[in-house]
Amino acid sequence: MVPAFIYGLCMLTALICAWLLLQAYQKTRYRLLFWCSLFFSVTALNNVFLVVDKVVISEGDLAVYRYAVALLSLLILLPGLILERE
């Protein structure tokens, strides 16, 4: 019961972050914000995935897929951070 609440909170806070970043991007259209908001959006989705994995699907563990999504999101974010002219 408590773990499900924690996973739900992960999802909720991740969605809040994604929303905040997306708001900032919509306001300004800065490129660095584009990458960051994209990253947090994928992360939020990954957390939805987490809730589904842990709460809905009781057998087995989709961890490897969640890690793959997390890695993908970082591979999107990092080039944005590296190539950004300060």
Q: Find, among 70, 68, 64, the residue nearest to 41 by Cα.
A: 70
Query: Could you say which of 22, 25, 42, 53 contacts another protein (CB under 8 A)?
Result: 25
Q: Cα–Cα distances in Å, from 43 out to 1, 8, 9, 68, 81? A: 23, 14, 14, 11, 17
**Residues constituting the chain:** 86
Residue among 17 and 38 whose Cβ is closer to another protein: 17
Count of H-run helices and E-run strands, the chain? 3, 0
For position 79 contacting another protein by CB under 8 A, the verdict is no
For position 83 contacting another protein by CB under 8 A, the verdict is no
For position 56 contacting another protein by CB under 8 A, the verdict is no
Residues lying near another protein in the complex (CB under 8 A) = 2-3, 6-7, 9-10, 13-14, 16-17, 20-21, 24-25, 27-28, 30, 32-33, 40, 50, 63-64, 67-68, 70-71, 74-75, 77-78, 81-82, 84-86
